[in-house]
Structure 1
């Protein structure tokens, strides 16, 4: 009877394989002759799982902002799929040295950039081939396939392309089908680059994916991409600089996989390159983040992207087709699984070594400071499944992040302690690394990101042992009464800003102080919030709204029955002003940066939760700006946009009381406006090295000479004038993330944050000329113009949504400059 059942199972399995439709048969068109919408890609994965449930299991792991499903498929043999949970648990136990599994876990991620749309097409073909011709590799391998990491961006591109494609499609690069509009398909809904968000988890797609990633911690992770249409295929090994946390084994096994790819590419006469351009340093990529979690993380780059369409003529005169692009990604995907299967035992052994053989430089990272900022950091650590604890009245010796020197560190009260004695110790070391070590200054991304700087916390890296405990904080529960004259609370974090935003949206009036004041033993610094009964006597349910908001954001409200203060100015003083409920607009469309606009859009909707109007440049000239109190100019290239008519429009609006906020390179675009005092510094003003002017440099060093002028995401220590309303809520120093080598002179007045003589970065790369240029330069400041103001945010405080300590500057720019 058992024999008959087994035979019947084999027979049914054979029929399933025989009847399984290829992607082309299922879709009704030949793969590579159209771009497939995300829902159809998901349909095909679900179809295969329905036909072959013994080999394929599809799960929904999340949902995008535009309500598209995020799905992934587990692909393996019947036995492995039946024992999937046991395989996962044994794998995770192996990193503790408790099991010796020999099954390889390979994760293939497609279409993190939506307009690199060949990926999802290749994912379908790869799935079909794995469960048919290549299923022998699955005997000791579980393959996890995410067919589209970024469905919103993917469908934005596919829907646009289907609107503008010629019939038949044209290979002429000048045709519209090869030129996406300003909002292109690369980023997600909020214009964020999901391939820079693995570590910071600012986006819903990243947050959902990381939960699944941490459940598996795969041995190999591949991120499929596209690059310029004229570039040959790129695969690992990666380029320098390579972070020192990446092991020799990880580097060597990238070679092993790359050589296997080369074998297939050589056979087909396909061009490729390795060890160039795509380095392994910044920790938030789809290759580096897995590497810091023990995997063999790799990026594969096919020529094409949004410009390629279904086919396009390259500079060589050859035609690049979607079918070509599918073939290349399909080949490397299968080759990766093949190598994993053939080396499954070795992969498991080395993965175990990665987690067991740890030699961290520091035992503990200790952080103290604003409790809201600590809470924001622990929220990120929770998402990353990084362990932490707390300690009281810590006194240790170690490297002080504030000085960059070894010193004694003492913190009163409760401190956050993140130990390297945990599973994710390598990731902890990378994210908290006080000083990054570059073995090559030619990099693809930013070179500094230490979390204590990003979150604005005092910190020390130490090898001292620390006695810790779990968090025993008690919940704040305010008592609110109609009999109280006013409630006062501080405002020095994004949590405070969200509390403020909630009240303003409920039409509750809030005042703030321009001069510190105290009553009793309590002192309130500039920019604190004062909420009076008198201001809100016409608000129904005032007390319940206030209590609800205070409880939600865990704000301690200090009650007072008088507007008289012991020191400082009373609540009726002219230095105690209302925080305006401003109507805010942001410029969108060409010439603004999609990423810069997206940061602002996401900030208002998902972080501050405050209304925002987007004004497109297509119709901006006809907009009556008097309806808005604040206008934000994101990063962008405004040279042609600011004609004389546009300048006059903005100048008049500011002079009549408007507030113009310029971010990043939008600051320099305002320099020739009438009455503007901002001035960009020039490299031509720097002292010239006589020796270098007389000796022509070889052609091949010109690129390295150019980087003398660059700052590639380095952290600088800046001075803060916290009497300036732009800097309310800050101490007298701020660690800023500088993204480029441009710099601005001090303003005649209104300088809030600036660099003086400390022009060397605390961590990260800055070219020698760029260091000279940033000496005595403005970071944040503002000037008055007529009845209005222009705020200059030379360093982007909202960059990628992860530099938490810069966000309050932006809030101050919107609400506190009056």
Structure 2
């Protein structure tokens, strides 16, 4: 640091306290209005000004409830909680008169999405429904703090201008889209700050540790979850969102750059092609209001670069599929209270002000363009209806075979988006694939949310712009490994609407004196397996397909079938039967009582049934870890399968006894000390132990000395998120329970592994024509085809790609689960690649 810079910082610190303290007028519009004294300001309720401290979620909720109680303009609607038990709150703000007619306003708003009704609506008189979502990334805290000032102004201001706003709009504010992340960050900053302000960007206040408040409890980016809908924050948000179907949607963020404020529109050629053409023009028109507000305040800004609207699972692009205008805002971030970065002084109070100013300019634009925006919504749904009628594809037929839980998960996602699934009326065969009406479904495209269905199901391989801010593909049925085919007609195929997915027919399960059998074909059959092991029940798995007679019926079970012998258990015959019977009644897994040990090719007492041991898992975090990828696995284990896992910081590996674990999971690029590498090597050579490694963590495996894995082309072009087809051998334990002969993996980054020279270690490889959806450069396509996707050898299972991307990659995630349970069945040869 130069002497001149040092004295500048010291000088600024002397008077920073006074310039940083700001009253409520700093955050609300100037104008001819008064403030209702019956409505408490943030300072009156909290005891401090907005921006003086980072608001904690509990105080935010208390203040919003207070606004609701003190103003007849405000309703605070609480629906659901986060993983950590924090309430999700939505503020519905409009005039007192509109509040009395809220149901009618909502009814008319939804009629805008119905072409058979929208033409008869009095659109000139209808209020505009606007949505304001703040701080989906919890450490982008200016948004949640600005929401208090915005809500206070709308609740307390008395004057002609605010009366006009409230009469002509319904404003829905979600002040905290990520309560757990917001609270994590607020705790860090408030406990790490100095009260004589420190500007040094390297000070503890600005150096939040990982995992940061950006993510939710399981380290997911909630601004990528609008389509997958894997978390309660998103599920409950969509209930309100779909209930109201807002027309102008605003999403408030912060950015690392000090260049200035960003607001939509983004990069022109990176807009999703399913968005209505008029969407961009209206976005540009609205941007003029933001430009005016920023110019008047002397704030530099930029548009049309840096951000795109291609991936439709983000808060500012999802609305484009619903006849709304989605607008993204990105403010420079202070990441604390005040800091100097790149010669720019970043004050938290100013950034809060800019978020508030962009909120008011959005409101003003909405009021001025109320009729135009409402007509746009109605027109876009009329256009969607025309697109569905004219398009060659009329829908999809879908099946997961006996995997009922997978269809349940699919239906959960679709219903969150107000998309209807229907029973298949009759058996059909398309392109050689048969669909049985007993376990297949129809998804017609002629539905209200036509564009959402398209964005979830379309496969795309051609693009105008091949630079992506996020991913280039996200096709839902490929992610879930669901069998589906396009339908050129749905006539005679659409049955009853699915309210609840058809469940397995429960039958009696007689007590067996020999064994109980079940397959792992259902997604959640592993919950049964884990529960049995956790109870101390001895379990075996068949390494070959089994044919066996159960009573007068011959049963064919695939490799990977689970056998629970009755003899030799800690539980009595009756106790074991009671446990098995409960699982039979509670699950979607068929369980069979063996009546004889005789099989056709081999018997139940055969060595083809291998011992299974309970996985004792350590997820290794800390420096070098990919928290996003590790969070996906933590969430999979904890929320989907109720399998406990210890989360261990890599810095502790030298101290702890590794023998309490039999499975260690790595995801990232760790640099471990030699003594830790040696310790891990010795541990991994024990027959019951395995390291499961993902993506770049092959480097760590090599450093440990248990593999010799090389990248095929270290300089390959970065892959911006594509879906690739893989081929595999069903004989590998990693593929037990997988009935499909296709597997689709999500790939991003640069990791491409060269061919294995170890026989049998490549259990899955990318197909010769791998690309199913997304942008893959030609050279990369040639480099990756036929290369290993999953390798398995002595004490190691390696996934080249994250197996549970964004929590909805159900097809590949079960391979990770298989790796946990069947790690001891992996061949004991060292993995080496060319």
Give the alignment partner of residue 465 of structure 1, picking from 480, 490, 495. 490
How far residue 409 of structure 1 moved from its aligned partner, in angstroms, is 5.0
Matches within 5 A, 1:584-599: 584-599=617-632
**Partners of 2:513 and 2:567 within 8 A in 1:** no
- In the alignment, structure 1 residue 678 sits paired with structure 2 residue 689: no
**Partners of 2:512 and 2:593 within 8 A in 1:** no
For 2:317 and 2:476, how far apart are their aligned partners in 1?
Answer: 17
Judge which range, 494-503 or 205-214, deviates more: 494-503
| 2:396 matched residue in structure 1 | 365
Any stretches of 5+ residues in structure 1 without a counterpart?
1-13, 398-406, 685-707
- In the alignment, structure 1 residue 642 sits paired with structure 2 residue 672: yes
- In the alignment, structure 1 residue 536 sits paired with structure 2 residue 569: yes
| 2:615 matched residue in structure 1 | 582
- Name the SS for the 2:209 alignment partner: coil
| 1:81 matched residue in structure 2 | 99
1:281-319 Cα deviation digits (max 9, x unpaired)? 112111111211221112111110xx631111121x231
- In the alignment, structure 1 residue 662 sits paired with structure 2 residue 671: no
How far residue 379 of structure 1 moved from its aligned partner, in angstroms, is 2.4
How far residue 756 of structure 1 moved from its aligned partner, in angstroms, is 4.5
Q: Which runs of 4+ in 1 moved over 6 A?
A: none
1:126-151 Cα deviation digits (max 9, x unpaired)? 11222316342111100000110111
- In the alignment, structure 1 residue 771 sits paired with structure 2 residue 781: yes
| 1:47 matched residue in structure 2 | 66
**TM-score in terms of structure 2 length:** 0.88
- Name the SS for the 1:161 alignment partner: helix
For 1:681 and 1:744, how far apart are their aligned partners in 2?
Answer: 5
For 2:372 and 2:721, how far apart are their aligned partners in 1?
Answer: 37
- In the alignment, structure 1 residue 109 sits paired with structure 2 residue 133: yes
- Name the SS for the 2:508 alignment partner: coil
How far residue 335 of structure 1 moved from its aligned partner, in angstroms, is 0.9
| 2:210 matched residue in structure 1 | 182
How far residue 92 of structure 1 moved from its aligned partner, in angstroms, is 0.8
1:547-569 Cα deviation digits (max 9, x unpaired)? 111221121112221121012x2
- In the alignment, structure 1 residue 791 sits paired with structure 2 residue 797: yes
How far residue 441 of structure 1 moved from its aligned partner, in angstroms, is 0.6
Q: Given the superposition, is the C-alpha separation of residues 733 and 483 from structure 1 closer, same or farther in structure 2, using an over 3 Å criterion?
A: closer
Q: Given the superposition, is the C-alpha separation of residues 772 and 474 from structure 1 closer, same or farther in structure 2, using an over 3 Å criterion?
A: closer
For 2:246 and 2:232, how far apart are their aligned partners in 1?
Answer: 21
- Name the SS for the 1:739 alignment partner: strand
- Name the SS for the 2:772 alignment partner: coil
How far residue 199 of structure 1 moved from its aligned partner, in angstroms, is 0.9
Matches within 5 A, 1:713-792: 713-730=721-738, 731-747=740-756, 748=758, 749-759=760-770, 761-784=771-794, 789-792=795-798
**Partners of 1:108 and 1:143 within 8 A in 2:** yes
Judge which range, 441-450 or 131-140, deviates more: 131-140
How far residue 622 of structure 1 moved from its aligned partner, in angstroms, is 0.3
For 1:169 and 1:572, how far apart are their aligned partners in 2?
Answer: 73
1:423-455 Cα deviation digits (max 9, x unpaired)? 111100110002254221100111111122111
**RMSD between superposed Cα atoms in Å:** 2.0
For 1:535 and 1:252, how far apart are their aligned partners in 2?
Answer: 73
1:676-705 Cα deviation digits (max 9, x unpaired)? 142222246xxxxxxxxxxxxxxxxxxxxx
1:598-638 Cα deviation digits (max 9, x unpaired)? 1121111101111211111232210110111111112x221
Give the alignment partner of residue 129 of structure 1, picking from 142, 153, 173. 153
**Partners of 2:219 and 2:627 within 8 A in 1:** yes
**Partners of 1:497 and 1:808 within 8 A in 2:** no
- In the alignment, structure 1 residue 118 sits paired with structure 2 residue 142: yes
- In the alignment, structure 1 residue 817 sits paired with structure 2 residue 823: yes
Judge which range, 193-202 or 727-736, deviates more: 727-736
How far residue 25 of structure 1 moved from its aligned partner, in angstroms, is 3.2
1:312-355 Cα deviation digits (max 9, x unpaired)? 1121x231101110111001111111111111112111111111
How far residue 510 of structure 1 moved from its aligned partner, in angstroms, is 2.3
For 1:566 and 1:457, how far apart are their aligned partners in 2?
Answer: 31
For 1:680 and 1:750, how far apart are their aligned partners in 2?
Answer: 16
Give the alignment partner of residue 64 of structure 1, picking from 82, 87, 93. 82
| 1:208 matched residue in structure 2 | 236
Matches within 5 A, 1:92-107: 92-97=110-115, 98=117, 99-101=121-123, 102-107=126-131
- Name the SS for the 1:329 alignment partner: helix
| 2:337 matched residue in structure 1 | 310
**Partners of 1:192 and 1:599 within 8 A in 2:** yes
| 1:270 matched residue in structure 2 | 299
Give the alignment partner of residue 511 of structure 1, picking from 540, 561, 564. 540
| 2:44 matched residue in structure 1 | 25
